[in-house]
Structure 1
Amino acid sequence: MPHPTFTTPDLTSFTSLDRLGLTATGQRLSTSRAEILCEVTDPDPWCRRCGQHGVPRDTITLRLAHEPLGWRPTVLVIKHRRYRCAHCRHVWREDLSKAAETRQKISRSGLAWALAGLVCQHLSVARIAEGLGVTWNTANEAVLAEGRRLLINDPARYDGVRVLSVDEHVWRHTASGDKYVTVIVDLTAVREGTGPARWLDMVAGRSKAVFKSWLAERDEQWKRGIEVVAMDGFAGFKTAAAEELPEAVEVLDPFHVVKLGSDALDGTRQRVQREQHGPRGLKNDPLYKARRTLTVGLDLAIEKQKAKLEDLFTEPAYEPVQLVWSVYQRMVDAYRQPKPEVGKWALSTLIDEIGSKVPAGLPELKRLGTTLKRRKNDILAYFDHKGSSKGPTEALNGRLEHLRGIALGFKNLAHYIARSLLETGGFRPRLHPQS
């Protein structure tokens, strides 16, 4: 009597061979791998030239790496026939295009499994090669080619982009060779609250020409759809965006604006410290001991940190540090305002103050005021375009640090770009091992 819940085992369905046009006819298991004997489910003995029925000539065996079962490498041993037409002498073999690409060593299901492991599970190529039972080079070439075909070269990948972010990235830490690349990220989903940031492209080099050339390659309709470009303080990116995307709003990222204030504060602290304690300060110097506390937002500081700052600022010689510190705190507070219009007004007022009247003896604050005044429109544009911050871009940079750790570094920039796009390209909703 059949079991009311379980059915007869079906090796073909269990190993997903039905989607490849194959039928399992046998198996051989060992501790190191599983081999599944297969044949073509629907043979086609008709001549592709004259349409006559062919005569079986011989049988060929093809071995394909398949998606592993329980992390045991699985090999498809496909027995398929060759036919000869008695009428026109044409010779052909059974069609295996559903199972694998021509001259491919990995089945389509195996490639889908490998690509999902690389993109969704962040596996190394070495781990994927081990699961498939193939060499590293075989796995790397096949998976990157499939990733480019299915995901990277997808023409719809650039559709719907409204908010761009551009940044520089260090792809390798070596003394020789160009180590910088320019990265372009789609922040549209972040601004709309529908998903994460998505890496669009990575280009060798970092300059105005690099970003401008990338934008020039896009069609005019796509460029007209870009509403916002978020960037850091590099003038080259701003100039390129202004020339290629004249209708887009340029937004200077809050992180880099606050970093300018932090640098001014740190520069003032170091200068006063040298004036008071000589060219080489000691670890017990009050200013050096407070270097981290000075950059903490006052609303987040604990009582111990507040007390340390109060004691520090009782020293008259440290008054320049206190003045720059107060400006830094006002910058941080403006970005933390719950109402954008309040934050915009507070930061605009601050920029007008330090951009026109700075007390003598504060060169760091004067440089800060000049920079903020020059980029005032870009800075204040952030409050009108919430969600256009480069924060998600910096988060993707962290993902790439993890990628380099998994791969133990990269030597080939083309491979690094492909792996980076697959790692951070936002393909997860579309990719599934069984697709």
Structure 2
Amino acid sequence: MPDATFDPPDLTIFARLDELGLVVVGQRLEPGRAVLECRVVARDDDAFCRRCGAEGAPRGTVIRWLAHEPFGWRPVTLLVRVRRYRCEGCGRVWRQDTTAAAEPRAKLSRAAVRWALVGLVVQHLTVARVAEALAVAWHTANDAVLAEGQRVLIDDPARFEGVAVIGVDEHVWRHTRRGDRYVTVVIDLTPIRDGVGPARLLDMVAGRSKSAFKTWLAARAKAWRDGVEVVAMDGFTGFKTATAEELPDAVAVMDPFHVVRLAGDALDRCRRRVQQDTRGHRGRAADPLYRARRTLHTGTDLLTAKQTARIEALFTVDEHAAVEATWGVYQRMITAYRHRDRAQGRALMNSVIDSLSRGVPAGLSELVTLGRTLTKRAADVLAFFDLPGTSNGPTEAINGRLEHLRGSALGFRNLTHYIARSLLEAGGFRPQLHPQVR
């Protein structure tokens, strides 16, 4: 006796072919795929000539093969029989309209393209895995997915709306000896500041110069540029100059990661210089300065008892006084950034910059250089404490996601292709919820 809570099986609905204007009339299971024979759902105007309006006579059928979304990871192929007509009046020959099922001359159904785009963007599948699941060639899957992603996601002007805080940084997109290896990435940090979501990749530009970033900003609409309030960046003066020229009302913020990195680099240079002066060679495993190289970069509030003892023993040697002074500045900067009270943290950082801007002995060359840089960018460094949510840390996180993308794809040779894949990977898109993805 049939169960009243279940309907008889309908392969057309199960395979979601009713959404494509198709109906299943048969199936064949092959070792590597399932083949569904389909007919186009007839419409009233199919048999009428669009040139003269006369009714056409059937002239047989033609077969169109389409890769469809897999079920249970079994590739599914649609064998679509399309009826042909010939007008007895003007002689015109035409076929049934199959645009609901697929784009003209396409090898993937619209459902297959949608499945592939979701797999690539949301599930982070590789193009090779998508092509295998659809039982098509790599280039067939890649071209179809990128074309659809470009249409509904990348070319969508709405992705630039509501941007008030951006981050800019350089990114290495390939590791080769020839050719330009760098691109400039622009990140939307507005969701981080507003606490509504993660950062997203806004765009990517070839090169890492002032001109590259300035040209990109100049290409945006004036209303968009006027809406940008904050730009987070590293210490590269080219980004600073481009921001000042194209976004005069925006506040430039030098994010903590790069500020602390400047101090950490000064500490390393000082340690290596003292190592050479006292030992006459580069650091070796038994040298105290070399053994403490990682401990010196650890915040004092995170040091273990053993690490604290190592630091104290290191600074009992008079020849290590320069390292101790540089380490003290490094630790003061970390303390300023970690302070819970932003106003107090700002005061601590301002004190560090003020102390480095004057009265530093000439023998502490690393601190002199650091002080010169921080004094020049003091306003940008201190702006971080006045504007919460403006760290470039999420930019570094997105760079990490792009590194994973490049590793999964075993590298990229085409920059245009890499930019498109990066925007799909880290652009914050959710195509399964996007109203334009059919």
- TM-score, normalised on structure 2? 0.97
SS at match of 2:162: coil
* 1:385 to partner: Cα distance: 1.3
Picking from 120, 132, 143, the partner of 1:130 is 132
**5+ residue gaps, structure 1:** none
2:220 aligns with 218
SS across alignment from 1:299: helix
Contact 2:33 2:74 (C-alpha < 8 Å) held by counterparts: yes
Alignment correspondent of 1:390: 392
Sequence identity of aligned pairs in percent? 60
* Cα displacement (A) at 1:87: 2.7
**C-alpha separation in 2, matches of 1:114 and 1:52:** 41
TM superposition outliers: structure 1 runs of 4+ over 6 Å: none
- Counterpart in 1 of 2:6? 6
Assess if the C-alpha contact under 8 Å between 1:230 and 1:250 holds in 2. Answer: yes
Q: Is residue 19 from structure 1 mapped to residue 46 from structure 2 by the alignment?
A: no
What is the CA–CA distance in structure 2 between the aligned matches of 1:72 and 1:281, rounded to whole Å?
58
Match of 1:37 in 2: 37
Counterparts of 2:283 and 2:240 in 1: how far apart (Å)? 39
- In the alignment, residue 26 of structure 2 is paired with which amino acid? G
Q: CA deviation at 1:386?
A: 1.3
TM superposition shift of 1:431: 4.2
In the alignment, residue 51 of structure 2 is paired with which amino acid?
R
Q: Deviations over 1:204-245 (max 9, x none)?
A: 111000000001100100000000001000000100010000
CA distance in structure 1 between the partners assigned to 2:64 and 2:260 by the alignment: 61
Whole-angstrom distance in 1 between the partners of 2:323 and 2:411: 42
Distance 1:376 1:315 in 2: 34
Distance of 2:296 and 2:248 partners within structure 1: 40
Given the alignment, which residue of 41, 62, 72 partners 1:60?
A: 62
- Structure 1 residue 253: deviation in Å? 1.0
Measured in 2, the distance between the counterparts of 1:79 and 1:92 equals 14
Q: Deviations over 1:82-130 (max 9, x none)?
A: 1122233222110001100011000000000001111011111111100
Distance 2:349 2:292 in 1: 26
* Letter of the 2:20 counterpart: L
Q: What are the Cα deviations for residues 121-178 of structure 1, in whole angstroms up to 9, with x where unaligned?
A: 1111111100110001111111111111111111111111111111111000111111
1:374 is the counterpart of 2:376: yes
Asked if the contact 1:112–1:432 (Cα under 8 Å) also holds between the matched residues in 2, the reply is: no
The equivalences for 1:31-430 within 5 A come to: 31-43=31-43, 44-428=46-430
> Structure 1 residue 67: deviation in Å?
0.4
Taking only aligned residues, the RMSD between alpha carbons, in angstroms, comes to: 1.3
Equivalenced residue count is: 435
Code of the residue aligned with 1:255 in structure 2: it is: F
Give, in angstroms, the shift of residue 38 of structure 1: 0.6
Compute the displacement of 1:430 (Å).
Answer: 5.5
- TM-score, structure 1 as length reference: 0.98
CA apart distance, 1:65: 0.4
Counterpart-to-counterpart distance in 2, 1:280 and 1:270: 7
Per the alignment, in what secondary structure is the counterpart of residue 301 of structure 2?
coil
Shift of 1:340: 1.0
User: What is the CA-CA distance between 1:272 and the residue it aligns to?
Assistant: 0.9
Instruction: State the one-letter code of the partner of 1:37.
Output: E
CA distance in 2, matches of 1:14, 1:195: 35
Distance 1:240 1:144 in 2: 31
Are the aligned partners of 1:116 and 1:431 in contact in 2 as well (CA < 8 Å)?
no
